[in-house]
Amino acid sequence: MSIRKMKESDLPQVFAIQNALAFQEWNERQFLAEIHASYALCVVFEQNNRIDGYAVFHLMGPDSELLSIAASPEQQRTGIGSALLNEGLSRLDFASGDRMFLEVREGNEKARRFYEKHGFEAYAKREKYYSDGENAVLYRKA
C-alpha cells in the first residue's frame, strides 16, 4: 500500500469512489485542472493495484486548503482517510504559522468528527452554501 501522486489514469477509479459516496460532483475537467496545477497536491491511496482513496489539497504557502478527501465505502474506518489527510498536513509548517482550511456540510457529522479528531476547529458557517440549501461549516487547523 502506498500514497502517491494522482495520475490521469487514476480518474476512473477516483470517479468510482466519488460516485459511490455521492458527496460531490467533480467532473474530469476539474480533476485534470487540479492534477496539473502547480499549487495542488493530488494524491491517491493505492493497495493491490486498486485506488481506495484520494485527496486534493491546495498548498498555498501559509494558507492551504483541503478541497476533497474520500475513502472507498468498503475501506472507510481503516485509516486511509487519516493517512491521506496527514500526507497534506505534513507539507505545512504549523510552528511557523501555516494553516489548513476546509469546509464541510453542516449535517455531515461523520466528516466533522473526523476533522475534529485531527485537530481542526470550526470557526464560521456559510448559510445555504450548497446547491440544496445546506449550510457549510468552515474549519481550520493552525
pLDDT (tens digit, 9 = 90+) per residue, 104-135? 999 999 999 999 999 999 999 999 999 899 99
The domain locations on the chain are 2-141
Q: How many residues does the chain have?
A: 142
What is the model's pTM?
0.94
- Find cell 457549510 and name the residue: 136
C-alpha 4/C-alpha 50 separation (Å) is: 12
Give, as one character, the DSSP assignment of residue 130. S
Give, as one character, the DSSP assignment of residue 10. G
C-alpha 118/C-alpha 46 separation (Å) is: 22
> CB burial class (10 A; 0-12, 13-18, 19+) of residue 61?
exposed
- The CATH superfamily of 2-141 is Gcn5-related N-acetyltransferase (GNAT) (3.40.630.30)
Q: What band does 1 get if pLDDT is binned at 50, 70 and 90?
A: confident
> Could you count the other beta carbons within 10 Å of the beta carbon of residue 108?
15
Q: How far is C-alpha 33 from the chain's CA centre? A: 16
